[in-house]
Structures are given as C-alpha cells and as structure tokens.
Amino acid sequence: MMIIGVLKCTEENLVAIVPKVVSKYTKGGFEILVERGAGEASHYTDDEYEEVGAKVAPRAEILAQSGILLTVTSIGLDELKLVKKGAMIVGKFNGRVESDLLTALKSADAHAFSLDLLPRSTIAQSMDVLSSLASLSGYKAVLLGADNFGGYFPMMTTSAGTIPPAKVLIIGAGVAGLQAIATAKRLGAVVEVFDVRSAVKEEVESLGAKFVEVEGAQESAAAGGYAIQQTEEYIEKQKTLIHQTAAKADVVITTANIPGRKAPLLIEERTVNAMKPGSVIIDMATASGGNVALSKDNATVEVNGVKIIGDTKLYNHMGSQSSFVYSNNIYNFLNFLLKEGIENIPYENEIVTNTLLKVEKEETVSA
C-alpha cells in the first residue's frame, strides 16, 4: 500500500489534505499519514483526521516513509535528504522564481511537482491552485475594502436623504479581479475595471462593471491568459487614466501580476495623494513589488487619510475553505498523474512537463 504523507505548513494557513478528502485517497488504496498539527491553522484537528482513517504521525516518520509527499509552499533543504528515494513531492514552490529550495528540488532524488506552474488549459482547470486561491482572495479583497471604507457600498435611501453607492476601481480582470467585480456588484457598488487584455472586456461587462480601456495594449496568446509587459508609451497612458479614475474612487483593488517578474507599478504616489481621505486601496501584488507606490507586503500604510493594505495571500484569512479547494486541486492532479498507475505517469503531457521540477539540460553546439 502506497503511503501519502501530509506535511505541516508554517508559512500559510493551508493544509494539503482536509479530512473530507481523505476518503477519496483511502478508497483508492492509499494510506494517509498526516503530520501532527498539520491542519490546526486551517481549523482541522488531529482527531478529525483520525476519525476518517488517517494516521497522525511525526514529521520525520512521514518524510522517511511516504511515497508521495504533499506540502504547500516549502520543505526544508536538509529534509530533502530524509525523503524516500524516488518519492513524489507535490506543492506550490513559486517555480518561476529561482531560489535555493527550487534548485534543491530540481536536483533531488525525488520527483518534485510545483502546481503554480500548471498550464492554463481546460484539462488542468480542476487542478489550478492559483486560480482557486485567487478567487478566494478576490472575494476577500472586497470585504476587506468594505470593512475599512467608512461608508455604505450600496445606495441607501433614508429619511435623512440618499447616500450614493461606493465607487470601486478594480485593476486586473483575472480570476481574482473577476471575483472581486462580482462581489463588489453584489454589495451594490458602482464598479469600473482596467485590464490590458481586451479579451476580458465582455466578461467584465457581463458582470455589470464598466470596462475602462486604454488603446494600444500588447497581447500574447502564448501568455496563457496572463498579462504581459507593456510598452512605456502604453504604461504612461494607462497611468494617466488610472490616476483620473482612482482620484474619484472610494475603494481601489489592484491584482496585476506578471508571473516571474516584478509587479507593474500602476498607482503612483501622486495618485494616492489625489484620492479622497477615507478611501481604501487593497494591493494584492505586494509580494512581487506591488502595484501601488508606498504599499508594503502584509502591512497597512496610511497616507493623508488613504489606507493602503498590502496582502498577496488574502486566502490565508479563510484557511478552512482555502485548504478545501487546495486539497481538491491536489487530488485532481494526482488522479490525473496516476490514472494509469505510478509506472505509467504521462511524462510527455504538458501538465507533467510544466510542473515537474528538473535541471534543464545544457544544449551542446557542434562545430
């Protein structure tokens, strides 16, 4: 019987298997070992795991015995030496940014898969951890903005007069942005949206938001649905229009990330200073430099009465639900990987080639 080991994560409020998903594995003939306290940050107790047939074990035992190791963001460099030879390690290791851990995982005697490298394809949709977590973060960003904004989101008609709806500006209409649009509209706000990808205009408008378009954007089908780096001329035009729109907004949410690169600066200091006191900015790109001047990762900064909240991992505020979707994403990935048995992993499939961390072979040049 193959053992699947679940490691505790201390960097995020996530766990790679939640109790509800354990039975999916045990029905398939796997034994589940869960590190003691692995689910605590996500509000899942050791007793809950044991009640559904998992075994709670020390970390060292899990590292040594597991044929498949599931984690979230990291595993210690020294711990890789303890991992069973030929084991599979599955997590999200920020695979587009070089690090000591990434180098070690590529060279390890195990097969490491980083799910943040999954292709944006229909078949990979059920495994897409970034989209799952981004959707939760987009939802949370709006609630955080509403909580910090000192007013109503919907229009309110009272005996003392009518209060107009809040104006929300969302920059970036990816998964997080679209969820933010839908949430802000449900709360009754007037929503405007910027995105360099013209293809999202119809989707934005179908959610009831106004799409503010800057002409001249560069797009690429090869980007897999992500935004790409724009020309300096376009960026200047975009900043001017964003400045004008943000100055009138009550809440601004920025979600613009370019995988493996520094986040584009879209809200300048002059724009922050032009915003109304009491307005709020949620910068969801602070881990990669931020979309907003003066923003700081995992911190709130106040400038002339404008709150700037920097948090790239808003899903951490919803550990239980975030772990549930992350757990199902991993299950779907393993189900795809092992559907023909561990001896027949489809190494030529793009899902595997994209996510498998390996040392790139140097090309040889013949004379």
Long-range contacts of 240-244 (CB under 8 A, 24+ apart): 241/194, 241/212, 241/214, 242/169, 242/171, 242/194, 242/266, 242/267, 242/271, 243/268, 243/270, 243/271, 243/274
Q: Is there a catalytic annotation at residue 283?
A: no
Q: In the structure encoding, which two tokens stand for residue 153, read together?
A: 């989101």
String of b and e for 312-341 (b: at least 16 CB within 10 Å)? bbbbbebbebbbbbbbbbbbbbbebbbeee
Active-site annotation holder among 44, 59, 74, 128: 128
Residue in 358, 180, 365 with CA at minimum distance from that of residue 283: 180
- Name which of 196, 194, 230 is nearest 212 in CA terms: 194
Give me the catalytic one of 74, 131, 230, 323.
Answer: 131
User: What 3-state class would DSSP assign to 310?
Assistant: strand
134, 174, 263, 102 alpha-carbon torsion, rounded to 10°: 50
* DSSP conformational letter for 291: S
Active-site residue 226, yes or no? yes
**Dihedral sign (CA 147, 153, 154, 160):** positive
Q: What are phi and psi of 333, to 5 degrees?
A: -65, -50
Distance, in Å, from the CA atom of 152 to the CA atom of 166, rounded to the nearest integer, reads 7
Task: Find the catalytic residue in 226, 229, 297, 321.
Answer: 226
Q: Is 36 helix (H, G, I), strand (E, B) or coil?
A: coil
Of residues 23, 99, 125, 218, which has the active-site annotation? 125
The separation between CA 286 and the C-alpha centre of its own chain, rounded to angstroms, equals 13
CB 9 within 8 A of CB 41: yes
Say which amino acid occupies 306: V
> Using alpha carbons only, how large is the chain's radius of gyration in Å?
22
For the chain, give the number of residues: 367
* 125 in catalytic set: yes
- C-alpha 203: how far from chain center: 20
For residues 256 and 126, what is the distance between their CA atoms, to the nearest angstrom?
23
Q: Which residues are catalytically annotated?
A: 120, 125, 128, 131, 226
